[in-house]
Structure 1
Amino acid sequence: MQSSFPNVTTNLALNFLNSKLVSHGKIIDLIDSKDSLRHWAETPHQKDIEYNLQLSIFNSCLDQIEDVSPIIAFRNDVQELLFELINEEKSVFYLKNMIEENLINNPLSVIFVESHAMYVPVKDGLEGIKSIILLSLIDLIETGQVDTLKRCDNPECFSVFSNKSGRRKWCSMKICGNRNKVEQFEKRRGERYR
């Protein structure tokens, strides 16, 4: 289990999806047990209060979870759908349809945190976790960020982020950006000494 998760966005669903990395050609799933899932759910975003409130609601759903494999399967299915959207193989209609189908049997409630309305799942466990992730995806659709989603330029990386500026290439400079810079430097250095 890694001590820190690469929360490269301020969207809960995207950070949840980005919990699978590639290092030296090997896939590393940062969420592979209930403990690692709880650790992810206890990793707040330093600057985003709403994100942290969603995370605390997510965390409250974990008590009913024993087996994380259905959560991992859900994550992988949503990630694959977003990859298809990014590659323009599917339209946002498919994402909306998937959200509607999953939330139809999972009612939501509202709580107020000061004057801000927070939607919370009525069910906990797997269904509650799905609802929280889907609510976060709804936010991407409502704000138009779904149209700015991009995969990291590292072809081995699974990370997805909102490329609002249109110039961002990497999920994070700490993860893939620096790795690419080092590779480019080594390549230029090798060419210089031929």
Structure 2
Amino acid sequence: MCSKRTFPLISGFLSLDLVNTEVISHGRRHELLVHEQDLLDWLHTMYEQIPSLDRDILNISKDEAVEILPHIHEFRFTLRENLERIADGNSINNNWILNLEKNIENAPYVYQFDSGELREVPKGSKLNKILSLLSLDALRLIADGKLQKIKRCSNPDCVLLFIDLTGRRKWCSMKICGNRKKVARFQHKNNKKA
């Protein structure tokens, strides 16, 4: 039995965590959403992290996932392109906002009261539901002003993005890049002494 794929969950935001399903390892970009099972694992991971998500997104067959995956790759490409532009100091593209809004129009929301919590539930095809949830998350980041605090990891060999709420964060995470840089500096310092 295959083990469930793990993903770098460093942002706490659905749209950013999707962008971060591409990583650099051994100097090469690696896709973490290769097969339909990877998409299903990612959706389950997101549901565990954000339980208010529509549970119906977990009811995707492998055949549906095969159809959905290329659309998720395409959405992620546009998302990454726009988020990296913002991280580089550019303004938010209004056409991108219109596209995000269009995704929500394709799967508009109803509200359900579930376990004492009011949840927004998109209505539409499974693909449209997923794109609507991702688009709503990105629009909330814009509306809350959080995208003005988006950063690239300081490790030039890393492609992960994160929101820096403190203004002092340099690394995607200490576990992934920060600790590696500390170890590399320590080893370099010790090699000079030897």
Please indicate the TM-score interval, normalised by the length of the shorter structure: 0.7 to 0.9
**Deviation at residue 139 of structure 1 after TM alignment:** 2.2
| Poorly superposed stretches of 4+, deviation over 6 Å | none
Rounded to whole Å, the distance in 1 between the matches of 2:4 and 2:27 is 17
Rounded to whole Å, the distance in 2 between the matches of 1:100 and 1:171 is 28
Rounded to whole Å, the distance in 1 between the matches of 2:182 and 2:158 is 15
Which residue is 1:190 aligned to?
191
Aligned residues: 189
SS at match of 2:151: strand
Which residue is 1:18 aligned to?
20
**Deviation at residue 157 of structure 1 after TM alignment:** 1.5
Which residue is 1:56 aligned to?
55
Rounded to whole Å, the distance in 1 between the matches of 2:54 and 2:37 is 15
SS at match of 2:52: helix
What residue ranges of structure 1 are gaps of 5+ in the alignment? none
Give the AA of the match of 1:52.
P
Shift in alpha-carbon separation, 1:38–1:166, aligned structure 2, 3 A: same
- Asked whether the equivalents of residues 58 and 132 of structure 1 are also in contact (C-alpha less than 8 Å), the reply is no
1:142 aligns with 2:155: no
Alignment of 1:166-181 (within 5 A): 166-181=167-182
SS at match of 1:104: helix
Which residue is 1:107 aligned to?
108
| Alignment TM-score, normalising by the size of structure 2 | 0.85
- Asked whether the equivalents of residues 23 and 158 of structure 2 are also in contact (C-alpha less than 8 Å), the reply is yes
Rounded to whole Å, the distance in 1 between the matches of 2:182 and 2:4 is 24
What residue ranges of structure 2 are gaps of 5+ in the alignment? none
| Deviation string, structure 1 residues 6-46 (Cα, Å, up to 9, x no partner) | 11122111112111111110222111111011111222587
Rounded to whole Å, the distance in 2 between the matches of 1:170 and 1:139 is 23
**Deviation at residue 90 of structure 1 after TM alignment:** 3.4
Shift in alpha-carbon separation, 1:113–1:152, aligned structure 2, 3 A: same
Shift in alpha-carbon separation, 1:168–1:101, aligned structure 2, 3 A: same
Shift in alpha-carbon separation, 1:109–1:102, aligned structure 2, 3 A: same
| Alignment TM-score, normalising by the size of structure 1 | 0.85
SS at match of 1:188: helix
SS at match of 2:41: helix
**Deviation at residue 115 of structure 1 after TM alignment:** 4.6
Rounded to whole Å, the distance in 2 between the matches of 1:45 and 1:107 is 19
Superposition RMSD on alpha carbons, in Å? 2.3
Shift in alpha-carbon separation, 1:45–1:190, aligned structure 2, 3 A: farther
| Deviation string, structure 1 residues 99-124 (Cα, Å, up to 9, x no partner) | 12332333222222245332222113
Give the AA of the match of 1:161.
F
SS at match of 2:23: strand
Rounded to whole Å, the distance in 2 between the matches of 1:10 and 1:172 is 12
Q: Percent identity?
A: 29
